[in-house]
Structure 1
Amino acid sequence: MQCRHSFCTRILCQDSCWKEKHTMRAAELQDHMRKVGTWVDWERTCDRFIIGDPETEVKGIAVAWQARFAALREAINRGCNLFVTHEPVFYRHMDDDESVFTAAHAREKKAFIEENGLVIFRCHDVWDRMPEIGIVDSWAKQLGLSDKLGGDGFHSVYRSPAAGLRRLAEYVLSKTRDLGQDSVEMVGDPNAVVTNVGIGCGAITRYETMINLGADAIIGTDDGMSYWSGGSWTLDGGIPLVIVNHCTAEEPGMRSLAEYIQREFPEVRTEFISQGCMFRTVS
C-alpha cells in the first residue's frame, strides 16, 4: 500500500503506514499482556488461549466478564472473532477439566465456538492487579471511593462514604443498580459504626487481610465468602459486611479492559459486552 502522507518523510509516516498495513493476530494480545503483567507467573497462570487458533486474523475484539453462550452470540453479531474473558469458559478455574463435557450444553458451547471460528483468551491474573484501571481500582471508582488508606494489590482500604452499616449498604446499592444489582446483602448490626471500608478483587476478598490493613467494615462478594465461615467470622468479630455479586464487582474493571485494548490496538474495533449482576432477588 502506498503511503497517503506524501508530505511526510518515510521515517515520520512509518508508524501511520504500519497501522494501515498491519493485520492483527490474536496472539499479539497475549504477547502484549505478557509484557505488561510482570507480576504474573506465566508458567502457572490461567491467562492463556482457552480455545481457538492464536494465529487467527482478528476482525473484532469482544470483552466480557464471562464467555457465556449469550455473550458469545452477541460477539458474533457484532462482528468479533476474538473474545476476551475474565472468568473460565468451561466452568473450572483452569479450564482443563474434560469431565465438564459430559453435560450436553458444555459440548454444544464448545461446538458453537469452533463452528464460528471464535478465539477465546482469558485475561484474569494480569487484570486483577493492573494499577489504576484493573479490577480493584475500577471497582473503587465505581463505588466512588477516593480517600485510600492502604492496600496490598488485591485489597484496598478507603475512608468509608457512610457512617453506619445500613447507610453503607444503601450507598453500595445506589452505586451498583446500573450494574443490575437490585439488592445487596448486609451482615451485622445495621447501626454498627463504620469508619474505614475494605474492598477486594472479585472473589479474592480475604477478610482478615482487609482488617489488618485498617478496615473496620468490608464490601465483599458472594463468591468471595461462605456464610458458615466468613459470615460467622464477621458476626463474631462485630465486623460490618456488605455483599454484592461477583460479576457486579468486576464488571467496571472489564469495561476498563475493553477501553484499554481499544487504545493499545486502535486498528481493530473492540466491543464491551455488559453482563452485570447474575441474579435477581424476589421478596
Structure 2
Amino acid sequence: MKVREIVDSIIRETGVILDQGRTVDQIIIGDPDTEVTKTVTTFMATVDVILEAVRLGANFIITHEPTWFNGRDEKEWLLNDPVYMKKKQLIEENHLVIWRFHDYMHAVSDDMIYQGFEQDMGWGEYKERSKISQEEKNPLMKARLCYQIPEMKLKDLVMKVKESLEVKCARVIGNQEGICHRVGVLVGGGSLGLGNEKNTMEFMRRENIDTVICGDITEWTLSAYIRDASMLGLNKSMIIIGHERSEESGMKHLVSWLKQLLPEQTVSFIDAKEPFDYL
C-alpha cells in the first residue's frame, strides 16, 4: 500500500471529519505515493526514532507530535537552520515519509491516547463515563477525565505510575501518606487548560478530585493550587510525569489498532523515550 492509502484508511476508520486546512494531521515530509515497506508509530520523530526506523527497515513513521519543533510543524522559519537541514537530510536520504496523527486521535469519542494510558495503568474499568450537558463550556469537563480507583496512598500511586508508564522521574505535590481515590488525568498539554488556564482548577473542584496525574504544567496554575490546598490541610495531590510519558502509551497501543485495520501491513512501535536525563 502507498502512504496515501494508509492515511486515508486510518482517517476513515476514526469516523472523524476535520477541516484539512486547520488540522495538524498532515504529511510532514516525504512523498505520499511511496510504497510502504514497514510502518512505525511513535510519540515524536526524533533523530533517535528516525535512526531506529531505518534500522528496522521502515519507511513510514506515524508520529503524534511535531517533527519541526513547533505545534503546527511550520518550517519556513527553519530553512537556513543547521538542525533542520541535517534532520531533513537524514529523512530524505533514507526515503522516509512522516505523517502526523494527532487531532484525529484526540477527536474520536474515546480519545485514543487515553485508551493507551488506561491500558498501561489497567484503569479502563475505573473511568467515569457519565453524560455531560451540551451547554458545558469547559472542555476538560466534556472529556470525562476522572477515574475512581481503589483507595491507595499517594506514595503507592506514584510507584504504580512509574512502573506502569516506565517513568524515570516524577514530580510530586502533596502528602505522601494522603489517600488517592478520585483521580483526574490530564495527559500532554491538557493540564494547561485547553484554552483557559482556569479550566483545570474548575475541573478539579467540580469533579471533587483529590489527585491529578498530568503531563505539562504551568507552575502558577494547577500545581500552585494543589500545593496551597495541601499546605492548608486539604487532601489534594499531583503527579507530574511530562508530556511524552503521559502520551506515549497511546502510540504504543495504536499498533494493535493498526494491525486490525491493515492486517497485511507490518507495524511496530518505537519509544521516543523521556527527553531528559536526570542528574
Q: Give the TM-score normalised by the residue count of structure 1.
A: 0.81
Choose from 258, 263, 268 the match for 2:260.
263
Alpha-carbon distance between aligned partners in 1 of 2:264 and 2:182, rounded to the nearest angstrom = 43
Question: Does 1:215 pair with 2:215?
Answer: no
1:240 positional shift: 0.8
1:51 positional shift: 0.8
Aligned to 2:128: 149
Choose from 134, 156, 162 the match for 1:173.
162
Alpha-carbon distance between aligned partners in 2 of 1:45 and 1:124, rounded to the nearest angstrom = 9
Choose from 3, 9, 29 the match for 2:6.
29
Alpha-carbon distance between aligned partners in 2 of 1:129 and 1:161, rounded to the nearest angstrom = 29
Between 1:188-197 and 1:50-59, the stretch displaced more is 188-197
Q: Which amino acid aligns with 1:32?
A: S
Alpha-carbon distance between aligned partners in 2 of 1:276 and 1:155, rounded to the nearest angstrom = 27
Question: Does 1:52 pair with 2:65?
Answer: no
What are the Cα deviations for residues 154-198 of structure 1, in whole angstroms up to 9, with x where unaligned? 45211134433233223322323xx3x222111123233322001
1:113-132 mapped onto 2 (5 Å cutoff): 113-130=91-108
CA contact (8 A) 2:43 2:251 kept: yes
CA contact (8 A) 1:182 1:280 kept: no
1:215 positional shift: 2.1
Q: Cα 1:153–1:108, aligned 2, differ >3 Å: closer, same or farther?
A: farther
What are the Cα deviations for residues 112-138 of structure 1, in whole angstroms up to 9, with x where unaligned? 112221111000111224455710121
1:255 positional shift: 1.2
Aligned to 2:274: 277
Q: Give the TM-score normalised by the residue count of structure 2.
A: 0.82
Aligned to 1:43: 21
1:69 positional shift: 0.9
Alpha-carbon distance between aligned partners in 2 of 1:195 and 1:59, rounded to the nearest angstrom = 46
Alpha-carbon distance between aligned partners in 2 of 1:33 and 1:209, rounded to the nearest angstrom = 35
Alpha-carbon distance between aligned partners in 2 of 1:153 and 1:49, rounded to the nearest angstrom = 30
Aligned to 1:86: 64
Q: Which amino acid aligns with 1:199?
A: V
Q: Cα 1:104–1:153, aligned 2, differ >3 Å: closer, same or farther?
A: farther
Please, which runs of 5 or more residues in structure 2 have no aligned partner? 131-140, 194-199, 231-235
Q: Cα 1:141–1:80, aligned 2, differ >3 Å: closer, same or farther?
A: same
Give the match's secondary structure for 1:56: coil
Q: Indicate the percent of aligned positions where both proteins have the same amino acid.
A: 26
Aligned to 1:96: 74
Choose from 94, 105, 115 the match for 1:137.
115
Choose from 124, 147, 152 the match for 1:163.
152
Give the match's secondary structure for 1:43: coil
1:241 positional shift: 0.4
How many residues were matched structurally?
254
Q: Which amino acid aligns with 1:226?
A: T
Give the match's secondary structure for 1:195: strand
Aligned to 1:234: 226
Give the match's secondary structure for 2:220: helix
Alpha-carbon distance between aligned partners in 2 of 1:78 and 1:153, rounded to the nearest angstrom = 40
What are the Cα deviations for residues 52-76 of structure 1, in whole angstroms up to 9, with x where unaligned? 1111111111111111111111111
Q: Cα 1:97–1:154, aligned 2, differ >3 Å: closer, same or farther?
A: farther
CA contact (8 A) 1:48 1:122 kept: yes
